[in-house]
Amino acid sequence: MATNKLKELEAARAKLANLEQAIASELRSELAALPAQYGFATAREFAAAVLSASGARRGRKPKGAAAASTGGKRRRRAVITDETRASVKKMVEGGKTGSEIAKALSISLPSVQNIKKALGLVKKR
């Protein structure tokens, strides 16, 4: 009895393996036909179109992208001087927001926050 069940199990496994191969083959042929169905010559062009349509971005920006976003110039690191700190303190006391201060002094918002923290102008949580 056990040998008959083992033979049935082996036959079922073989049938399952054949079905898996048939499904995989059919799937490959359907996927290979997709680019032509949508009017693309190659799978690479089709994949690029799908990625651009989905808005997905992969990897790093192209080399010219950073320079293009800043008007072709590379940003310089801001130099924080005593005058900058005094201006930040004066603007905070005047009721300006951090982003307004950053824009007015041409420094980053994190720099403004660091200056405020160093001057003791930030409330602790």
- Mean pLDDT value across residues 21-32: 93
Q: Phi/psi class of residue 75: alpha, beta or left (left: φ > 0; alpha: ψ in -120 to 50)?
A: beta
Each residue of 38-55: pLDDT tens digit?
Answer: 899 888 999 888 888 887
Distance CA 21, CA 91 (A): 71
This prediction has a pTM of: 0.41
Sequence spans of domains, the chain: 2-55, 82-118
Query: For position 72, what pLDDT does the model report?
Result: 64
Query: For position 68, what pLDDT does the model report?
Result: 55
